[in-house]
Amino acid sequence: ETGVTQSPTHLIKTRGQQVTLRCSSQSGHNTVSWYQQALGQGPQFIFQYYREEENGRGNFPPRFSGLQFPNYSSELNVNALELDDSALYLCASSLVAGGQETQYFGPGTRLLVL
């Protein structure tokens, strides 16, 4: 519906492992943001990438990192997984052009850390 896709849809990892989540933005969108949503809570901002550079970061440790590529795809990497990293991870893309930019969300990746 929004033109933003995420993969995989579900993922199970064990504590200490590393994970890479992927997002494909709408064509032409130069900004991607990642959010973590724990069960029963609102999404929390992890970081944002604008034209392949990090452009703002929330209160998350450095083991959360990201990449944005020129082909409108992006990645969220999490190292040394902890149990509390279990959540729905959402990416959102937008075209930042000086106006009121709407962020379009993907369906999310649900990560379970055991």
Partner 1 sequence: SQQGEEDPQALSIQEGENATMNCSYKTSINNLQWYRQNSGRGLVHLILIRSNEREKHSGRLRVTLDTSKKSSSLLITASRAADTASYFCATEETSGSRLTFGEGTQLTVNP
Please report which helix (H) or strand (E) contains residue 31, including its range.
Answer: strand 31-37
Q: Are 21 and 4 in contact, with CB atoms under 8 Å apart?
A: no
Residues that bind partner 1 (CB under 8 A): 1-2, 4, 31, 33, 35, 37, 39, 41-45, 48, 50, 56, 58-59, 88, 90, 92, 94, 96, 98-108, 110
- Closest to partner 1 by CB, 37 or 73: 37
- Closest to partner 1 by CB, 78 or 103: 103
Q: Which DSSP category does 47 fall into?
A: E
Q: How far apart are CA 104 and CA 26, in angstroms?
A: 8
- Closest to partner 1 by CB, 39 or 71: 39
